[in-house]
């Protein structure tokens, strides 16, 4: 077993203009490491959506990406408001994004469904008033 490659990012919740930067960085690294385009696409979509959600719904957080021999694990952790109803939040089209956020192009209610669709597993651990941690795995 070779040592896992790990990346850690602090995701700034106050800066919309840099939202997505961590995902772009991970994409570039995975490309350098020679991963197949389909894998990079899945990781990019899943991580981007999670990263943006932390920015627009949770005032930022942290993103960790761990690359193992058989899978890539993405862990997104925030200290935001939590998700009261996961089943509802997972529905395509459900969004609590306000108008100023929607004007930027967010709020289609497709982020969480995309994260589920483009990963092999997704776990949501959320506590109201404490925060949310989402762990996603993409098999290699």
Partner 1 sequence: MTVRQTAEALGLTLLCGDGDREISGVYVGDLLSRCMSRVTEGCLWITIMSNINAVAVAALTDPACIVFCEDVEIDDVVLDRARENDIAIAKSTLDAYALCVAYHNACGENQ
**Contact set with ligand ATP (CB under 6 A):** 49, 53-54, 57-58, 78, 80-81, 83, 89, 94-97, 106-113, 132
How far is CA 51 from each of CA 70, 74, 123, rounded to the nearest angstrom? Answer: 23, 10, 15
Do the beta carbons of residue 94 and residue 109 sit within 8 Å? yes
Longest CA–CA separation in the chain, Å = 49
- Find which of partner 1, ligand ATP, Mg ion, none residue 45 binds, CB within 5 to 8 Å per kind: partner 1
User: d(Cα 126, Cα 128) in Å, to the nearest integer?
Assistant: 7
**Count of residues near partner 1 by CB under 8 A:** 26
**At CA 94, angle to CA 117 and CA 86, rounded to 5?**
70
Do the beta carbons of residue 80 and residue 132 sit within 8 Å? yes
Residue ranges in 4-63 that form contacts with partner 1 under rule CB under 8 A: 16-17, 19-21, 23-24, 27, 37, 41, 44-45, 48-49, 52
Residue ranges in 55-114 that form contacts with partner 1 under rule CB under 8 A: 104-111, 114
Contact positions vs partner 1 (CB under 8 A)? 16-17, 19-21, 23-24, 27, 37, 41, 44-45, 48-49, 52, 104-111, 114, 117-118
Contact positions vs Mg ion (CB under 5 A)? 53, 111
């Amino acid at each position: 077993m070779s040592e896992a490659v790990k990346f850690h990012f602090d995701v700034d919740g106050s800066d919309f203009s840099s939202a997505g930067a961590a995902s772009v960085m991970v994409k570039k690294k995975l490309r350098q490491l020679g991963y197949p385009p389909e894998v990079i696409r899945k990781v990019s979509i899943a991580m981007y959506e999670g990263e943006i959600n932390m920015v627009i719904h949770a005032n930022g957080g942290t993103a960790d990406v761990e690359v193992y021999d058989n899978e890539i694990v993405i862990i997104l952790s925030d200290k935001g408001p939590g998700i009261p109803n996961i089943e509802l939040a997972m529905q395509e089209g459900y969004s609590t994004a306000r108008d100023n956020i929607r004007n930027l192009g967010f709020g289609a209610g497709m982020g969480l469904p995309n994260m589920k669709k483009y990963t092999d597993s997704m776990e949501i651990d959320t506590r109201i008033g404490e925060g949310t941690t989402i762990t996603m795995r993409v098999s290699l």
